[in-house]
Structure 1
Amino acid sequence: MGNAITRRGFVTVVAAGLLATGLAACGNSDTGDDAGDGNGKIVLGFSQVGAESGWRTANTNSIKESAAAAGIELKFDDAQQKQENQIKAIRNFIQQKVDVIAFSPVVESGWDTVLKEAKDAGIPVILTDRSVDSADKSLYQTFIGSDFVKEGRLSGEWLVEQTKNATGPVNIVELQGTTGSAPANDRKKGFAEAIAANPNLKIIASQTGDFTRAGGKAVMEQFLKANPKIDVLFAHNDDMGLGALEAITAAGKVPGKDITIITIDAVKDGMQALADGRFNFIAECSPLLGDQLMELVKKVHAGESVPARVETEETTFTQEQAKAALPNRKY
């Protein structure tokens, strides 16, 4: 399969879902003075993963803008992709006696101790974008974000449809997200489950690019040197796919034609690459969680019950759909 996959695949729309089944979930700091300042505003302490991608920047902007619009005082911390920074930030929020804590976990494991400290302090916690693997579901109120397994599955299902008539092996390389993170674990799982339907589809190399363009480029360079025949690249986010484009071009291959490229996110740069034919398919993961998050913050602060999981509404894109969506794209 040396040529790009060009036949149009099916498009699956990811509907928004609310799974209300009890209480479960998903640096530099400008935190300022103690929260109890008597101004009557809800004070939200938010710890962000970092600024590793265009998606994350759009996510941060959405949260900051939505907090301002909702009249919520935001104490924001950038963990710079380090769990120890995030744990320190959460403890700072507890000391400041904020009303609600929200964070997007760098990795899934290792949160029980600090989450119990927040619970003991009577501060409700909301998980955004990424989940944790804590067995005690009472440590957080809810999760808001995407179904990462579904994103990986939709990507794999599109590839299965495109290759259903393939007679020989289809060699796939995979650029994974940050090791141990929920999106990396889940997208890998969903994709692998989907491509199992076509025994010709083989993942011949899989390595983390840490969700960054630089990482995507460096790892793709290694893949190309080690594997003379690569038919498909599955990147866990657009930024790694965009970095890989440079490596593929430098190797004398045409991205989108010699190597079919599937990514996840649908940020503007990725959508432009898809519209230009350098990418072939993108499963959307919306970063615009701010408005929904602020509604949840208000509810948990008021002691109201909230769904265990709030999923964002997302879709998938082929080249023509990307061309149609780009003029009105917000991120």
Structure 2
Amino acid sequence: MRKAKKVGVLTLLMSLMLVTACGSNNGATTKENANQPDKTTTEATVATDKKIVFGFSQVGAESGWRTANTTSIQDSAKEAGIDLKFSDAQQKQENQIKALRSFIQQKVDVIGFSPVVESGWDTVLKEAKDAGIPVILTDRSVDSTDTSLYVTFLGSDFVLEGQKAGEWLVEEYKDTTDQVNIVELQGTTGSAPAIDRKEGFEAAIKDHSNLKIITSQTGDFTRAKGKEVMQAFLKANKDIDVLYAHNDDMALGAIQAIEAAGLKPGVDIKIITVDGIKDGFQAASEGKINFIVECNPLFGGQLMEAVKGVVEGKELPKRTVTEEGTFTIEQAKEALPNRKY
């Protein structure tokens, strides 16, 4: 019996030791787990550290302004640590629509694009909205009445740019009642800057009957086309006082045509232009362009901040206007050495 009792006590002691040992192991495991990152926290960190994928469709490379804009976007994306999927539409709307649909299929986080023209975007923008991918417009707007199809529009006020150009012209000819013949080189037909810069300019000069646009034609924002169209203007009418070009590149092409015709740009024909690229400033410093309305292409940093803001769920303003100035010949001379584009 004593032996049986001893065995029983021994068994009980061993059981207690085993329970205690298991309790110690559990305590050790808990301590180790406390030092390990929580699974939920780890997953959240991974999600936060995941690169934002941004699909961007550019109009093309039709001008010095556009090239500077592209460089600004690409460099800013790299600096911001954003994975940029870039597409050049070569000034064709069908190429841009294909690019946007490709971005949707790739399930990028945000889509951005500078529309070739204003109309014809609703269908593809609805596809992006249905896929849950926010869209940011840059530089140019769309004419959709459904503003829910895009988050924000970042760019210039093209109407104001045209208005500034017209106001300078009114001031320049305020002391004359003689008719002033104006020719206009428009941007790409149907594009926002072409429509708006024309509208703003005409609004500024409408109360001055002596300021008359005698002909207006698209130069597609390119130097080659600007030269070609200006040649046609000069053949059709020798009495041209002013050229209003919707961008510097068309004006620079037109200058070649004016000089080839034996005339002095900036003197025989006064030139007003929009953009403010370095080549335009060079021409202005030489007296060949009389007035430049700036359109700032270096908004890549602002765009990347907007992309991050969208991903973080921040509420962005529907319209963000870039800061811009105007330049006379003397002001262009002064600014030229520090011009970045």
Is 1:44–1:100's contact at 8 Å kept on the other side of the alignment? yes
Tell me the TM-score normalised to structure 2 length. Answer: 0.86
Query: Which residue type is aligned with residue 113 of structure 1?
Result: T
Is 1:160–1:197's contact at 8 Å kept on the other side of the alignment? no
Deviations 1:75-103 (A, max 9, x none): 00000000000000000000000000000
- In 2: Cα distance, 1:303 partner to 1:151 partner: 32
Quote how far apart the aligned CAs of 1:112 are. 0.2
Query: Which residue type is aligned with residue 143 of structure 1?
Result: F
- In 2: Cα distance, 1:38 partner to 1:284 partner: 38
The answer for the alignment partner of 1:142 in structure 2 is 152
The answer for the alignment partner of 2:99 in structure 1 is 89
Is residue 249 from structure 1 mapped to residue 249 from structure 2 by the alignment?
A: no
The answer for the alignment partner of 2:166 in structure 1 is 156
- In 2: Cα distance, 1:288 partner to 1:157 partner: 25
Tell me the TM-score normalised to structure 1 length. Answer: 0.88
The answer for the alignment partner of 1:9 in structure 2 is none
Is residue 322 from structure 1 mapped to residue 332 from structure 2 by the alignment?
A: yes
Quote how far apart the aligned CAs of 1:219 are. 0.2
Quote how far apart the aligned CAs of 1:289 are. 1.2
From 193, 206, 224, the counterpart of 1:214:
224
Q: Aligned with 1:179: secondary structure?
A: coil
Greater relative contact order (Cα < 8 A, sep 6+): 1
Q: Aligned with 1:305: secondary structure?
A: coil
- The sequence identity of aligned pairs, in percent, is 73
The answer for the alignment partner of 2:273 in structure 1 is 263
Query: Which residue type is aligned with residue 198 of structure 1?
Result: H
Q: Aligned with 1:287: secondary structure?
A: coil
Aligned ranges 1:1-331 → 2 under 5 Å = 40-331=50-341
The answer for the alignment partner of 1:25 in structure 2 is none
- In 1: Cα distance, 2:70 partner to 2:238 partner: 40
Q: Aligned with 2:216: secondary structure?
A: strand
Is 1:175–1:209's contact at 8 Å kept on the other side of the alignment? yes
Quote how far apart the aligned CAs of 1:167 are. 2.2
Q: Aligned with 1:230: secondary structure?
A: coil
- In 1: Cα distance, 2:250 partner to 2:311 partner: 38
- In 1: Cα distance, 2:79 partner to 2:138 partner: 19
Structure 2: give runs of 5+ residues left out of the alignment: 1-46
Structure 1: give runs of 5+ residues left out of the alignment: 1-36
More helix by share: 2
- In 1: Cα distance, 2:89 partner to 2:176 partner: 45
- In 1: Cα distance, 2:176 partner to 2:208 partner: 9
- Runs of 4+ displaced beyond 3 Å: none
Is 1:164–1:198's contact at 8 Å kept on the other side of the alignment? no
Query: Which residue type is aligned with residue 92 of structure 1?
Result: S
The answer for the alignment partner of 2:13 in structure 1 is none
- In 1: Cα distance, 2:141 partner to 2:295 partner: 15
Quote how far apart the aligned CAs of 1:39 are. 7.2
Query: Which residue type is aligned with residue 59 of structure 2?
Result: V
Q: Aligned with 1:233: secondary structure?
A: strand
Quote how far apart the aligned CAs of 1:210 are. 0.2
Q: Aligned with 1:102: secondary structure?
A: strand
Quote how far apart the aligned CAs of 1:197 are. 2.7
Quote how far apart the aligned CAs of 1:38 are. 10
Q: Aligned with 2:84: secondary structure?
A: strand
Deviations 1:15-55 (A, max 9, x none): xxxxxxxxxxxxxxxxxxxxxx9971000000000000000
- Which 10-residue stretch deviates more, 285-294 or 37-46? 37-46
- In 2: Cα distance, 1:141 partner to 1:252 partner: 51
Is 1:170–1:202's contact at 8 Å kept on the other side of the alignment? yes
- In 2: Cα distance, 1:38 partner to 1:281 partner: 48
Deviations 1:137-183 (A, max 9, x none): 00000000000000000000000001011121000000000000000
Q: Aligned with 1:262: secondary structure?
A: strand
Query: Which residue type is aligned with residue 229 of structure 1?
Result: D
